[in-house]
Structure 1
Amino acid sequence: MTLNTYQALKMPPSLAHKVYSAETVRSQEPLAAEQAAVPMYDLMERAGAAAFDCLKQAFPKTKRILVLAGHGNNGGDGFVVARLAKAGGMHVTLCLVGDINKLTPDTTTARKKWLDCGGTVGSWPQPDQAFDLIVDAMLGTGIQGKVREPYQIAITWVNQSSLPVLSIDLPSGLNADTGAPCGEAVRASHTISFVGVKSGLVTGRGKGHCGQLHFTDLGIGNTFNTLAKPVAMTIGFDNLASLPRRAISSHKGDHGKLLCIGGGPGLAGAMRLCAEAALRSGAGLVKVLCHPSCRTLVAQGRPEIMLADEEDYQVLFDWADGFAIGPGLGQSDWAKTLFTQLISYQQRRQKPMVLDADGLNLLANLPAKLAATALITPHPAEAARLLECTTSAIEDDRYKAIQALADRFDAQVILKGAGSLIQSEHQCFVCQDGNPGMAVGGMGDTLTGIAAGLMIQGMPVSEVAKLAPCLHAKAADMAAEAQGERGMMASDLLPYVRTLVNR
């Protein structure tokens, strides 16, 4: 088939596309600076200058800023920003939230330079003044446990102020590795991260707290890149390779036969979305095995969707090149029978298969190893059922969760959500496409169809795991650009899916 050698990543990822643990950045940054012959205080000056440049670009009309500084090196960056802003003609109020007796040596130097240029250092609580912007330089990657006072009070005040916020390195109070708030965390408008992007900034709740994320390597990226090992890589549709052109002599049988299983009583819509998404992704033939009560509704207005009428499931399974199971399936005896027979078949034959929705719920009740040819696509609640934990536990550490899912089921995994995580052949990726308009019923069904449609055209499942969520999210971004995020429906993505698979 034409896609059996497809490789999603069209070029080696740059440093900006790699994400690291906080400990990796802390331990390797000094070594990278030493090898690059850059003193650590110079890095602080570079960080402050980069943050100030970001401030000017993101908030060009800002005249009055409040800098909230901690006593660590993050606070030192804030002192540098304050000094540069003052030199640039802005009215700057700097408030030290941290303990002046615990200033790091480099932060002490930055504080002195701020004072030498005529700046003053206030203490928390902040002056009762009007500001255009808050620069958050309170807490960095070293936070342990819950945020304590006075930082907790300061963070709450920032979030209640309704002012735009620029966070330095990461929003104060955010766990740099997981993106989970440590009790309280700043909700930034923009965040600028240094040297290496921290893994918690690009997925789940962390992505929501960061606002627009910026990155600079402070001039030591080449040396850092050789020393540090990332925990994941960020990808987007525009970073991935285009699909190869089809042979002029190709026919429908060359592009795969997909059997979609689902559509229980009252749930025809989910299966219709799945089947049509598979066709729009380029599948040659799509057949639906649904409950008899849903047959007419699934195919209505879309004659290209075939309906299965064979009673012998083995015949159907043999016909198909791959499967999509779960959208609208339900958990009735009919659904359980279909599910158990397909899982047994797939374990023997190892054809490509996507499991979503009730396919995952049934899998949770019947724990079974799958295969590398299987792709599971849970949202956090489904992941929690699969791992027998709470949804909060999944969101508290999405990286740990997706690794556990891959280990338990021996499958490729897409953990959906803001910054969807992808576990593919023992590597973790983070999808950076997508928008809040996708928070609507049916989106998962379209993703299932896209993934299954690509699979049965011959694309390796490990590559489908990377391409499908990025294609799906990019289509949603195009739909949002055309008509806005609010009111988006899953079916709105289908014309853009077709455009993207032909790009």
Structure 2
Amino acid sequence: MPASPDRLPLALYRAAQVRALDARLIAAGTPGFELMQRAAQAAWRALRRRWPQAGELCVLAGRGNNAGDGYLIALLAQRAGWRVRVLAVGDPAQLVGDAARAHAEARAGRVRIEPWSECAPLSGVLVDALLGTGLSGPVREPFAQAIRLINASGLPVLAVDIPSGLCADSGRVLGEAVRAELTVTFVGLKLGLFSLDGPDRCGALRFADLQGAAPLPAGEPPAAWRLAGERLPTLAARPRNVHKGQLGHALVVGGDTGFGGAALLAAESALRGGAGLVSLATREEHVAAALARRPEVMARGVRSANQIQELAATADVLVLGPGCGQGAWARSLLGGLGALDKPQVWDADALNLLAAGALAAPRGRWLATPHPGEAARLLGCSTAEVQADRAAAALELARCLNAVVVLKGLGSLIASPDGTLHLCDHGHPAMAGAGLGDVLAGLLGALLAQGLEPEAAARLGVWLHARAGERLGGAGRGLAAADLIEDIRHLLEEHSPCLN
């Protein structure tokens, strides 16, 4: 299984798939209890590396296999001479199979096991072995209270496989969820660890495959693939005698009154992304500012559908929507562009107009770049429903629109109509600001103009955009969208050098 420089695999799975893989390992000859022992040993090694001088451990155990891992971790710590307690939040009498055997071995090893009480003091490194990946509904008491006390303790926390209360498929917090400093996950990476609240709740992430080599059942691919620089599409090096006409002409359409900056950001990003020619069709009052800021962009004020059709006829790629609004001007300009047989990027209000039925979707190759609210309008559901299962929403949208869809947000997703899904686990909270989506739309247009297919352009563009934000976000708050454009240019050169 390929891995990225962070040593984590690139394949991501839903919880049911990981359970299937676990069952396949057992069927292939590895006993379940042996897998549980390997999991405990991997977690214990990671814990000792993280907190080598702690000397004290408190395991909070539930009543499933996750609890079994916790009891075995406690036994390993006891043998190493640490002070150890297990607080049994789930009744040990309800344990079955391998988990019951793990509990029995911990008792035989004289591990101190106490029933959970809200008054029980917490100390040392806390091990969250409460709830596993099978959780689908809100966390119930007494587990919810235990989670609240863990989070309020201020103590270091290791989560076993997944922070309790986090949905393994979506990354949603199911009422209450542990906030871990370190999570050690097993067998396959869970999709939810990389989306929504997952990264904040799992802290540092470590992976142990438990030395298993059995594949998933035939015909069942991973739920998604993480984007990694060394496995991304590349732009070919340019011959020395290349000219601008060979590098594509991108036309950005947008910038209604008061929103000219959005369209200009997209146009500048397309220019810096390497498109040979970039045109901007916008409101007449924005042309002077556009030329003053970026004279290389061919800015033109447009009022009518006829004018935009003339401009579009000379372009190779269309980027529609940044700052265009949803009024009569936008409806008139965008109305006939979807029928053109050219690669297109639809963003922002172009997607809102599509959702409202005011525009028809393109017939050819195109990219849609919604944020969750726009995706919800396109799917006819609520934003909360989109966020409840972002992967399913992105795939459904790609199928319905027959487009490559970039569902933006933490763990941005790239979904293709054929069901392929990629996830970008880069980015930075400093990127939460206006104009970032406009920069991405322009960059995607530039990559399409230089010959990449929509899915390839989306994978490379989303990764470049997120990595630039990650690098610049280290300076803290106040990141402006325009700051990314130059850094994206440098990242693109590192990834796909202009000359061999």
**TM-score after normalising by structure 1:** 0.91
Deviation at 1:219, TM superposition (A): 0.5
Q: Does 1:359 align with 2:350?
A: yes
The alignment partner of 1:83 has SS state of: helix
Does 213-222 or 58-67 show the bigger shift?
58-67
What whole-Å deviation, never above 9, does each CA across 1:391-442 have from its counterpart, x for those lacking one? 1111101112112211221111000111111112520111121121111111
The alignment partner of 2:162 has SS state of: coil
Does the 8 A contact of 1:15 with 1:225 survive in 2? no
Give, in whole Å, the separation in 2 of the partners of 1:280 and 1:400: 33
The alignment partner of 2:9 has SS state of: helix
2:426 counterpart (417, 424, 433): 433
Identical aligned residues as a percent: 40
The alignment partner of 2:135 has SS state of: coil
Deviation at 1:281, TM superposition (A): 0.9
Quickly say closer, same or farther: Cα 1:28–1:91, change in 2 above 3 A.
same
State how 1:73-152 maps to structure 2 within 5 Å.
73-125=65-117, 128-129=120-121, 131-152=123-144
Give the root-mean-square deviation of aligned CA atoms.
Answer: 2.2
Quickly say closer, same or farther: Cα 1:61–1:418, change in 2 above 3 A.
farther
Does the 8 A contact of 2:342 with 2:364 survive in 1? no
Aligned partner letter, 2:176: E
Does the 8 A contact of 1:237 with 1:433 survive in 2? no
The alignment partner of 1:253 has SS state of: helix
Give, in whole Å, the separation in 2 of the partners of 1:227 and 1:388: 31
Aligned partner letter, 1:357: A
1:445 counterpart (438, 441, 448): 438
Quickly say closer, same or farther: Cα 1:319–1:463, change in 2 above 3 A.
same
Matched with 1:4 is none
Deviation at 1:62, TM superposition (A): 2.8
Does 443-452 or 163-172 show the bigger shift?
163-172
Does the 8 A contact of 2:21 with 2:187 survive in 1? no
Does the 8 A contact of 2:38 with 2:210 survive in 1? yes
Matched with 2:464 is 471
Give, in whole Å, the separation in 2 of the partners of 1:132 and 1:495: 47
Matched with 2:309 is 314
Matched with 2:369 is 377
Deviation at 1:492, TM superposition (A): 1.7
Quickly say closer, same or farther: Cα 1:10–1:377, change in 2 above 3 A.
farther
Deviation at 1:135, TM superposition (A): 1.2
Q: Does 1:500 align with 2:491?
A: yes
Deviation at 1:59, TM superposition (A): 3.2
Does 140-149 or 284-293 show the bigger shift?
140-149
What whole-Å deviation, never above 9, does each CA across 1:21-64 have from its counterpart, x for those lacking one? 222222331222332x3211010010011111222233344333
Quickly say closer, same or farther: Cα 1:372–1:436, change in 2 above 3 A.
farther
Aligned partner letter, 1:329: C
Does the 8 A contact of 2:65 with 2:98 survive in 1? yes
Deviation at 1:490, TM superposition (A): 1.4
Aligned partner letter, 2:411: G
Deviation at 1:10, TM superposition (A): 12
Give, in whole Å, the separation in 1 of the partners of 2:182 and 2:193: 11
Q: Does 1:16 align with 2:5?
A: no
Give, in whole Å, the separation in 1 of the partners of 2:317 and 2:486: 24
Does the 8 A contact of 2:402 with 2:417 survive in 1? no
Quickly say closer, same or farther: Cα 1:85–1:120, change in 2 above 3 A.
same
Give, in whole Å, the separation in 1 of the partners of 2:188 and 2:122: 34
Quickly say closer, same or farther: Cα 1:266–1:244, change in 2 above 3 A.
same
Matched with 1:458 is 451
Deviation at 1:127, TM superposition (A): 5.7
Higher relative contact order (CA 8 A, sep 6+): 1
Matched with 1:235 is 227
The alignment partner of 1:259 has SS state of: strand
State how 1:47-446 maps to structure 2 within 5 Å.
47-125=39-117, 128-129=120-121, 131-224=123-216, 229-309=221-301, 312-343=307-338, 347=339, 349-366=340-357, 368-426=360-418, 427-446=420-439
Does the 8 A contact of 1:237 with 1:474 survive in 2? no
Deviation at 1:182, TM superposition (A): 2.2
Quickly say closer, same or farther: Cα 1:87–1:224, change in 2 above 3 A.
farther
Unmatched segments (≥5 aa) in structure 2: 495-500
Quickly say closer, same or farther: Cα 1:299–1:208, change in 2 above 3 A.
farther
Does the 8 A contact of 2:354 with 2:361 survive in 1? no
Quickly say closer, same or farther: Cα 1:407–1:130, change in 2 above 3 A.
closer
Give, in whole Å, the separation in 2 of the partners of 1:124 and 1:227: 44
Does 326-335 or 124-133 show the bigger shift?
124-133
Deviation at 1:225, TM superposition (A): 7.8
Give, in whole Å, the separation in 2 of the partners of 1:120 and 1:103: 17
Does the 8 A contact of 2:439 with 2:481 survive in 1? yes
Give, in whole Å, the separation in 2 of the partners of 1:357 and 1:117: 61
Aligned partner letter, 2:380: E
The alignment partner of 1:94 has SS state of: strand
The alignment partner of 1:16 has SS state of: coil
Give, in whole Å, the separation in 1 of the partners of 2:353 and 2:414: 22
The alignment partner of 1:92 has SS state of: strand
